[in-house]
């Protein structure tokens, strides 16, 4: 269920702030992202996941509520 929350976070950020300037998605990129967030999901580390999004370039992610 928390993976759903993290994915929802990413969609909410995109909806609120527009399309990010990132490379086109691919299966390889999706696998890398999943590998990066899997530990956060397993450990229930919402704050750490948000910080990862912030460090990736979106400081506005901090304003989202927990498990949004």
At 11-46, the pLDDT tens digits run: 777 777 776 666 677 888 888 878 888 888 888 888
Residue 55: inside a domain, yes or no?
Answer: yes
Residue 68: inside a domain, yes or no?
Answer: no
Give residue 27's domain range.
Answer: 2-61
Q: According to the model, what pLDDT value does residue 28 have?
A: 87
Q: According to the model, what pLDDT value does residue 40 have?
A: 86
Distances (CA, A) of 5 to 8, 25, 55, 57: 5, 20, 19, 19
Residue 66: inside a domain, yes or no?
Answer: no
Question: Could you give the residue ranges of the DSSP H alpha helices within the chain?
Answer: 2-17, 27-43, 46-55
Number of domains in the chain: 1
pTM: 0.52
Residue 40: inside a domain, yes or no?
Answer: yes
Alpha carbon distance 30, 63 (integer Å): 25
């Amino acid at each position: 269920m928390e993976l759903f929350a993290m994915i929802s976070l990413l969609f909410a950020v995109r909806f609120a702030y527009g399309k990010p300037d990132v490379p086109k998605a691919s299966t390889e990129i999706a696998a890398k992202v999943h590998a990066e967030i899997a530990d956060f999901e397993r450990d229930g580390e919402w704050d750490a996941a948000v910080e990862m999004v912030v460090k990736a370039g979106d400081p506005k992610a901090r304003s989202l509520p927990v498990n949004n």
